[in-house]
Amino acid sequence: MRKIIIAGNWKMNKGLDETRDFFQEVVSALRGVELGSIVPVVAPAYPFLAEALRESFGSDILVSAQEVSLNSDGAYTGEVSAAMLKSLNLPYCIIGHSERRQYHNESDANVQHKLLKLLAHGITPIVCIGETLAQRDANQTEAVVLAQLKGCLQDVPLKTGTEIIIAYEPVWAIGTGRTATPEQAQEVHALIRSWMMENYSGVVATNLSILYGGSVKPDNLALLLACEDIDGGLIGGASLKAEDFIEMVKIAREADLLIGLCQSGD
Ligand code: 13P
């Protein structure tokens, strides 16, 4: 059974006190709540990862980094390596976010390199892909998404499908309030899963969690999660409010229980 991941990408938001307050509120609200296959993940800024790990220790909330260096160690001012993240015991790291692609010229080859570095350190990469509005309008969505998948996963060995997470984030839906419709998102998620099936195996395709990102909020999460190939969300703005994040984790749990009921035929 695939994990349903509710991941908050805080981007460049929240300082030390806000990070601590958020984690205290979320840890306390979710204490004792049976989460089943739901995994809540939060990605704060680098300086506050250790504080987030301290505050979430012993809870179900996992912490992710937002980026990692291409390089292993040495004279790379401002960079943070996969080994450093591993020394914190971080389980996840986002790579290939469209903001990194746009503002830092991140290429699929860079993402592939980072992905291999993270895997080598036992950190699960959350690999972001997605088309721009111009590409969607030019009917290039499928070609763009498949090219990104191919580039990011070139020579990447996957056996179980749980080694990585893919996040489909259409660039036109990020921070715009304009979410992809569940049908639009499902179509691309199904495309990604069938590509994984063809290029890896049925096992990999079945176990792979594919998250949707782009203006996800408590109001639209349930409909997105009802789609067969949407296994959670990578959430920016709406993950900044503890209250909304808690609500989204609970919505995911309810959606999961409902799907379980339908599948067992009750
Ligand atoms: P928003 O949820 O603010 O649209 O951001 C999505 C995103 O970029 C998550 O990585």
Q: Residue with structure tokens 């987030």?
A: 52
What is the 130 CA–ligand 1 centroid distance (Å)? 12
Tokens of 104: 């830092």
The total number of structural domains that make up the chain? 1
Q: What is the mean pLDDT of the chain?
A: 96
Phi, psi of 142 (to 5 degrees): -60, -45
> In this predicted model, what pLDDT tens digit does every residue of 152-166 receive, in sequence order?
999 999 999 999 999
What per-residue confidence (pLDDT) applies to 256?
Answer: 86
Over residues 173-189, mean pLDDT? 93
Candidate from 157-171, 173-187, 231-245, 252-266 with smallest mean pLDDT:
252-266
Annotated catalytic residue 169:
yes
Q: Bridge-partner residues for 127, per DSSP?
A: 95, 166
Ligand 1 atom having least distance to the Cα of 98: 8
Ligand 1 centre distance from Cα of residue 10 (Å): 9
**pLDDT tens, residue by residue, 229-244:** 999 999 999 999 999 9
Q: Count CB-CB contacts under 10 A for residue 45.
A: 18
Q: Identity (one letter) of the amino acid at 170?
A: P
In total, the chain counts a number of residues equal to 266
C-alpha 177 – ligand 1 centre gap (Å): 10
Average the pLDDT over 66-92 and give the result: 98
Average pLDDT (221-232) is: 96
Do β-strands 232-235 and 4-9 pair in parallel, antiparallel, or remain unpaired?
A: parallel
Taking the CA of residue 239 as reference, the ligand 1 atom at the shortest distance is: 2
Does 83 score more than 90 pLDDT? yes
Nearest ligand 1 atom to the CA of 99 is 8
Please report the pLDDT score of residue 266 as a whole number.
Answer: 53
Ligand 1 centre to CA of 44 (Å) is 13
From CA 10, how far away is CA 64, in angstroms rounded?
10
Question: Cα separation of 128 and 110, whole Å?
Answer: 12
Q: Which residue among the candidates 131, 163, 169, 189 is catalytic per the annotation?
A: 169
- Distance, first Cα to last Cα, the chain: 18
By DSSP bridging, strand 38-43 and strand 62-65 are parallel
Angle at 184 between CA 183 and CA 190, to 5 degrees: 80
CA 115 to chain centre: 14
Pocket test for ligand 1, best of 94, 234, 240 (most atoms within 8 A of CB): 234
**CB-based pocket (< 6 A), ligand 1:** 9, 97, 169, 174-175, 213-216, 234-238
Q: What CATH number is given to the structural domain containing 30?
A: 3.20.20.70
Active-site option among 97, 99, 106, 189: 97
pLDDT band at residue 265 under the 50/70/90 scheme: low
Domain that holds residue 231: 4-265
Question: What is the distance in A from the centroid of ligand 1 to the CA of 264?
Answer: 34
Identify which has the larger pLDDT, 265 or 233. 233
